[in-house]
Structure 1
Amino acid sequence: MEAITAAGGAGLTKWQAAALSAVAGWVWAASFFGLTRRARALAQPWVTRRVLAETPSILRFQMMHHKLLDSFFSVLSCVVSVPFYTGFLPLLFWSGHSKLARQMTLLMAFCDYLGNSVKDAVSAPRPSSPPVRRVTATEDEKENAMEYGLPSSHALNTVCLMGYMLHYVLTYGPHDNVMVATGLSLALLFVMLVGVGRIYLGMHSLTDVIAGICFGGVILAFWLVVHNYVDAFVVSGKNVTTFWASLSLLLCFAYPKPEFPTPSFEYHTAFNGVAFGIVYGIQQTYFHFHNPDVPLIFSPQLPFIAFVGRVLVGIPTILVVKFCSKALSKWLLPVMCNTLGIPIVSSCYVPALKASDKSKDKSDAKQAGYLQKVFSLFPQKAYDVDTGIRFVQYASLAWSVVDLVPAIFTHLNL
């Protein structure tokens, strides 16, 4: 396929340029025609009525509450939460199952983007507490409670990730009809328990959970069609880094504005950065650390004790990289934006840039920058630099998982 030259001299193929143009066009159209507001006006009243109508049923279901059930469903929610997968996926990379790990990472980023986009577009409430008893045993659950309700992210992610793991095991491992039936039954049981747990904990209504399962099924079906093409592009495609960096930037804008601020966009930004870091790192090191010939855990080349050594070395390393990249980006990004004339504010990371009338006046004074004409096409006047800082730190963390840390393993013969 012929390459065309994009702005800045980066060569993009026709389909890449068309895809990026489509996303940029969607951002403009959604802003110009108020598509989020129109969709919310149609969906939010119906969902809100359903949540209110289901409140008595939730209260009756919660009458069976018990400390053991509270603990069981709280632990189950942690097992399928974003922080759990954030810790689990690096271990999957370092165990030699790189293809499964990168596919699950990209799938999770895809799920997080679509699920949170729908949440913030609809802006439908969770079951009211009180009267519903809401159990938030961890800080992660307390942050989840600040998001909107429909669809249930836990249900959506569980369907996609359990479904993809089952597909991967049955595709690449030995199996018979009994194993297929057992695997499918366990996956369905796990999804059902997660869904029941979200209602029991007072985090979601039945409508939220059903929507999460349905969205998850559609996303999983789509991913099973395209995942081999995505993986082939990531490991051996053309202009992968340029395309993915451009797509990551556009996805920061191709996100609906919620009725009231929630942490959902922060989660999207983090996984957007993780996806880019994984893609960039795999591009650089695929033939060294991530090809099909790398040793798997429990093999003679990678015994369990060596894997434990990898974990003890790898976890501190990626945390140090995340800390350092955050500190560097907090200093560097504001300087770059000011130099280029991009108006910025900060919601938490950079106290000197916190939004105020004074800072807005300063931002307006900087609008003469030559990039301002480009950024004025997007629906904000001043940009939250925290988004860039968050993106950089998680992209750096993900890059270190697949590039820096495996290089250290090689040096240490782990």
Structure 2
Amino acid sequence: MGLINMASNVKSSFTQLCKNLQDPHHVARFQKICGVNGTFSGISKESKSEQEQLYNGTGIKRCQGESDNHDIYAGKDKVTDGHRQRKPTTTGTRVEQDGCKNGMPNGTGLTIGAGGETGGYTANSFHSGITGASQSENPSNGCGLDRISDKDTESRNEDSKYGNTVKPTRKNSLTGDIGQAFLIENKFLYYLFSFGTELGNELFYITFFPFIIWNVDTFVGRRLIIVWVWVMYLGQCTKDVIRWSRPASPPVVKVEMFYNSEYSMPSTHAMSGTAIPFEILLLTYTRWEYPFSLGLVLSFSWCLLVCLSRIYMGMHSILDIIAGILYSILILVVFQPALEVIDNFNQTCQYAPLIITSLHLAMGLFSFTLDTWSTSRGDTAQILGSGAGIALGFHLNNRLGLVPDPPLSQLPLAVPALSAGLGGLCLLRFVVGMAVLLLTRAVMKALTIPLVCRLTGVPSHDVRKARQHMEVELPYRYIVYGTVGFNIVCLVPQVFRWLRLL
């Protein structure tokens, strides 16, 4: 009995710790320390029993069993989203939706006043019982959103005390929401964390990996991409299995809106921000001559910057970040011993092209059955397509004897001295290579979407709606980005040879 009680106490303590780490108020406090202040409009409250909270900025009503400390996963009811329908889970213990029907989803859930400006309430003032217009004036379709009254609009003039309000740089990729204005008091941290969050976005991946392959080390780039594909794939699938919402807003300020419609647990930014720098360290510390301590410091700095940026942006709770880091470490521990086997198989096995293509496609089909359409599914197909294309490209290069790895006798490799000539050559390769990739993407996209729509019978006049069909989105992303990945490894190096850039 003693052991049972001890286990029960440990479980209870762990559960309480997780709930505490998931509290959105910790995120809001971190944002406040970093100089981020929200401008939230008034919320009408008829009575305490009918009080409506804005979860993820969507005006989701308080569910039965939900506590006063904004524990958004305590309720048993679920709210559906007109923009993004979610399949119910088997547990029934969380609010699984990111929005409300006919409401403003996942962005602000806050009505904008005249001139497109918001009310001048800060995140700290939201919980002090601010009242706006009466319920009869509320055109919110039952989503708990109130129109800002004329008196409320006068408070917008107070924003000048804090500086000019700014909007999130990119609107929501699924719903098109542009988000709510917020105040920035520390511009250095704003730009620093904006850069940090970009280290986990598509623009970084599509530039960083090709640069490594073209200018640094094809061996490192090849194996790094294998790890990245598995880390991102497992992270995205886990999100659609767990289905936890983003931190509630208020109190959290949504500095970023692009991924706000997606689930949050675990943070794939934290996963990639952990896996990429530390995998680079593991692949290079015996292959290249440089101080190991320098690599370790840079890896920790990279990871810390990306992880803190996601809290700063209001996209993840502390628990999401910790889970993402630990999950990524687990994947590295499991895959690192098998990485050489996988890489050698991809390059030398005669059946590798068939297995690579079918395996990545099957993984995509599995991920698309986890949930209804969302931007995360398209990203998953894009990652799998890129990984398959790059693996096929390296297989062909090995067969033809192109771009071979340096012999072991040349290891460790010396870091070349930096010079204007070397920098110019790397930059020229990068510009030419990216031009080829962008042209490839544009041509393949123009050809693939209409063709897939015709073959599947899906109307192609509205591309956005057409891509919400699995039979369009999966082959489109897979083919387009598979071709892009293949050209990174095969076509672009040949162009470099033709232009004498190698």
CA 324–220 in structure 1, closer or farther in 2 if over 3 Å, else same: same
TM-score for the superposition, normalised by structure 1: 0.72
Partner residue, 2:274: 159
CA 394–168 in structure 1, closer or farther in 2 if over 3 Å, else same: same
How do 1:199-238 residues align onto structure 2 when only pairs under 5 Å count? 199-238=311-350
Distance 2:294 2:307 in 1: 20
The correspondence for 1:185, drawn from 289, 294, 297, is 297
The correspondence for 1:59, drawn from 18, 23, 28, is 28
What are the ranges of 5 or more consecutive residues in structure 1 without an aligned counterpart? 1-45, 137-141, 339-343, 356-381
Tell me the secondary structure at the aligned position of residue 262 of structure 2.
coil
What are the ranges of 5 or more consecutive residues in structure 2 without an aligned counterpart? 1-14, 36-185
CA 69–383 in structure 1, closer or farther in 2 if over 3 Å, else same: closer
Which AA in structure 2 matches 1:214? L
1:200 is displaced (CA, Å) by 2.2
CA 348–121 in structure 1, closer or farther in 2 if over 3 Å, else same: farther
Alignment deviations for residues 377-414 of structure 1 (CA, whole Å, 9 cap, x no partner): xxxxx843122111111011111111111111112221
CA contact (8 A) 2:227 2:335 kept: yes
The question of 1:124 aligning with 2:244 is answered yes
How do 1:2-401 residues align onto structure 2 when only pairs under 5 Å count? 50=19, 54-64=23-33, 65=35, 66-136=186-256, 142-174=257-289, 179-255=291-367, 257=369, 261-286=373-398, 287-293=400-406, 303-337=422-456, 349=463, 383-401=470-488
Which AA in structure 1 matches 2:242? V
Alignment deviations for residues 127-151 of structure 1 (CA, whole Å, 9 cap, x no partner): 0122211212xxxxx3222211110
Tell me the secondary structure at the aligned position of residue 367 of structure 2.
coil
Alignment deviations for residues 180-230 of structure 1 (CA, whole Å, 9 cap, x no partner): 333223322332332222222211111100100010100111221111111
1:298 is displaced (CA, Å) by 5.2
Partner residue, 2:61: none
* Greater Cα radius of gyration, structure 1 or 2: 2
Alignment deviations for residues 269-323 of structure 1 (CA, whole Å, 9 cap, x no partner): 00111011111111112354331149999599x9443333322321111111111
Distance 1:169 1:212 in 2: 24
CA 335–217 in structure 1, closer or farther in 2 if over 3 Å, else same: same
CA 112–316 in structure 1, closer or farther in 2 if over 3 Å, else same: same
Over the matched positions of the two proteins, sequence identity in percent amounts to 25
Tell me the secondary structure at the aligned position of residue 254 of structure 1.
helix
Which AA in structure 1 matches 2:472? V
Q: Larger % of helix: which?
A: 1
Larger RCO: 1 or 2 (CA < 8 Å, sep 6+): 1
User: How many pairs does the alignment contain?
Assistant: 328
Tell me the secondary structure at the aligned position of residue 168 of structure 1.
helix
CA 91–181 in structure 1, closer or farther in 2 if over 3 Å, else same: closer
CA contact (8 A) 1:51 1:126 kept: no
Partner residue, 2:46: none
Which AA in structure 1 matches 2:226? L
Tell me the secondary structure at the aligned position of residue 258 of structure 2.
helix
1:50 is displaced (CA, Å) by 2.7
CA contact (8 A) 2:273 2:307 kept: no
1:52 is displaced (CA, Å) by 8.9
1:121 is displaced (CA, Å) by 0.7
Distance 2:467 2:481 in 1: 22
Which AA in structure 2 matches 1:50? K
Partner residue, 2:489: 402
CA contact (8 A) 1:96 1:290 kept: no
